[in-house]
Amino acid sequence: MHRCVSLLFLLVFTTSQSVSACTNLLVTKGASTDGSTMITYTCDGVFHPHLRRQAAQDYPAGDSVEILDWYGKSYGFIPQVKHTYAWVGYINEHQLAISETTFGGREELKNPDGMLHYKDLIQLALERAKTAREAVDVMTSLVEKHGYRSLGESISIADKQEIWILEIIGTGPGGKGAVWVAVKVPDGYISAHANKARIGTFSLKDSKNCLYSKNVISFAKKKGYYDKKSKKPFLFNEAYCPTTPKNNRYADTRVWSIFRRAAPSKKLSPDYHRSVEGAKPYPLWIKPDKKISLADVFSLMRDHYEGTDFDMTKGVDAGPYGSPNRWRPLSWTHDSVEYIWERPISTQQTGFSFVSQSRAHLPDGVGGVLWYGLDETYFTCYVPLYCSINELPESFTKGEITKFSWESGWWIFNHVANLANLKYSYMKPEIMAVQREMENHFFALQPAIEKTAKALAKTDPALMAKFLTDYSVTHGERVVKRWRELGEYLMTKYNDGYIRDKDNKVQEKGYPKEWIERVLKERPDQFKLKEQKEKALESELVD
């Protein structure tokens, strides 16, 4: 007998485009206001997400797991364990949460014959590990035996006490195992990564806080990625994911913006992400100026570099209504010069995102929460899904990217976000007001809900799970219903470029003065009335 690792872990891809543009923020227990460990995930790409869950299961001796790729191709089988843990999205019943970003790195190190993709490693770790350290062991031991098929990955792993970062890359076609290093984020600190390897130097003698593959340095020497004679320290990130102006801009700007907001006292310079010669890389972790709350994490993931020189709501590229969205491709060439749009933390191409909460002071079924958001982070509403729930909001599990559907929660959130592009500066405060209303409602309810659930955990764990399931599912669907109403309201109020006031009267608001001035500077005569053109000509003749 055997079972399959799901054809796709938690996503439904209906295009050939892969997910490779993501952001993770990691907040340790000592850096949070309530003793939570928290990690985030923005999963950016062209796909329609389906939220998944799986119950804990027991298996007979000799059972196996079939490994499938995104499209159902089989890569073979690995032995099954006797018992697997339940998971909801990217968090399991023991409050272990995992997220990732793809750093890619050296393309020649991808092994097409390796069995395990990063999606397989994440799912298998959630099923087989209780702690972050165990998850590192599960993932690295599996690739050692069965091979690694992905490009370079940075994987965030949080349990109730610790957060680890695992960075891993293959050894090339026909190679065995993988090259990797894992470090524990010091308590009281935060870290971040966004599609670029972040671990530089690491200890070879501190196994409590750092683990690594035996070949991590020797393989780099063999391939010519590192020369010991240079007397420079070995840096994992520079060996396996060398810095370039493009990945500085693409990845480090996101890290910089999270850090500069969490620790403004450090006055981190933008020079490194602008590739200024001699600028120092940003540290792997920093201590925030003050402890970070769950609401702060939501805010940090809603970022277009507002208030900086790179503010995407400003400039002619933001259009008349200050839209931070830039349409792909992100880079282009003009007159043989390459250009690239800014890549914000909050991008319209996000399929889903989450913020995980893991708390040692609460029973596992209560302490682990996946705050799940559909579509882009800026206009989503994070819904609390407890790790012990045994059902999901149905609208989070339906739909496909090739066909709009009111039954799909993702399409409803996507609908509102796309409407905002019509008059962004007007619609933004209205959408965010509803967002604040809903999320503040969840924040206010959380202590009472968890007090009841904690009491039930002592007397009737099954009833606790049912109670939290009802709460999560009901409120997930309530949020989707509210967003559909919001979309209908916005369509009516801003129809055809007009704006209806509180008395339902149509108002003509036109364009902002600054934008009009730019239009007239580019085409000063085109929009003048004929009579005014003639008067201007007469004036020139008289002069």
Q: Read out DSSP for 75-98?
A: EEEEEPPSEE--EETTEETTS-EE
Per-residue pLDDT averaged across 270-278, rounded?
Answer: 97
- Same domain? 50 vs 166: yes
Comparing 2 with 163, the larger pLDDT belongs to 163
- Can you tell me the distance from the alpha carbon of 380 to that of 357, in angstroms, rounded to the nearest whole number? 18
SS3 225: coil
Banded pLDDT at 537 (limits 50, 70, 90): low
Residue 287 within a domain: yes
Does the pLDDT at position 536 exceed 90? no
Name the band, by pLDDT with cuts 50, 70 and 90, for residue 535: low
Lowest mean pLDDT among 129-133, 436-440, 516-520: 516-520
Distance, CA of 291 to chain centre: 21
pLDDT band at 171 (very low <50, low <70, confident <90, very high): very high
266 and 368 inside one domain:
no
Domain membership flag for residue 8: yes
> Band of the pLDDT at 15, cuts 50, 70, 90?
very low
Tokens of residue 495, six digits: 């129809």
List residues bridging with 385 in a β-sheet: 370
Sign of CA dihedral 271, 255, 138, 352: negative
The domain boundary residue, chosen from 286, 303, 320 = 303
Contact of 362 with 454, CB cutoff 8 Å = yes
CB of 104 within 8 A of CB of 20? yes
Q: What is the arithmetic mean of pLDDT over 344-365?
A: 97
Is 510 among the domain residues? no
Convert the pLDDT of each residue in 213-248 to its tens digit: 999 999 999 999 999 889 899 999 999 999 999 999
Average pLDDT over residues 65-71: 90
At 128, list the tokens: 């087989």
Give the H or E element holding residue 488: helix 461-493
Q: In this structure, what token pair is assigned to residue 170?
A: 């293959």
**Two structure tokens written together for 30:** 């000592």
Query: 393 lies in a domain?
Result: yes
What residues make up the domain containing 112? 2-303
Residues 271 and 390 in one domain: no
What pLDDT is stored for residue 543 in this prediction? Answer: 62
β-bridge pairing 2-4 and 64-68: parallel
Q: Are residue 533 and residue 478 in the same domain, yes or no?
A: no
188: pLDDT strictly greater than 70: yes
508 belongs to a structural domain? no
Tens digit of pLDDT for each residue in 359-417?
999 999 999 999 999 999 999 999 999 999 999 999 999 999 999 999 999 999 999 99
Query: Which of 303, 321, 345 marks a domain boundary?
Result: 303
* Alpha-carbon span 526 to 391, nearest angstrom: 61
Residues 378 and 493 placed together within one structural domain of the fold: yes
| Domain-located, residue 98 | yes
Q: Does residue 523 share a domain with residue 441?
A: no
424 plus 536 within the same structural domain: no
DSSP lists the bridge partners of residue 352 as 43, 374
3-state SS, one letter per residue, for 271-323:
CCCCCCCCCCCCCCEECCCCCECHHHHHHHCCCCCCCCCCCCCCCHHHCCCCC
- Name the token pair of 439: 């999320």
6: Cβ–Cβ under 8 A, 6 or more apart, which residues?
52, 68, 123
pTM to 2 decimals? 0.95
Pair 176, 252 in one domain:
yes
Do residues 386 and 295 share a domain? no
Same domain, 8 and 132: yes
Task: Specify if 332 maps to a domain.
Answer: no
Query: What is the count of structural domains for the chain?
Result: 3
Give the end of a domain, one of 303, 321, 344: 303
Could you give phi then psi for residue 480, rounded to 5 degrees?
A: -60, -45
Residues paired with 100 in a beta bridge: 155
Helix, strand or coil, per DSSP, at residue 399 = coil
Share of the chain above pLDDT 90, in %: 90
**19: in domain:** yes
The answer on pLDDT for 24 being more than 60 is yes
Lookup: tokens for 332: 């282009």
Q: Are residues 527 and 428 in the same domain?
A: no
Pair 380, 253 in one domain: no
What torsion do the CA atoms of 288, 374, 324, 275 make, to the nearest 10 degrees? 50
CA 451 to chain centre: 30
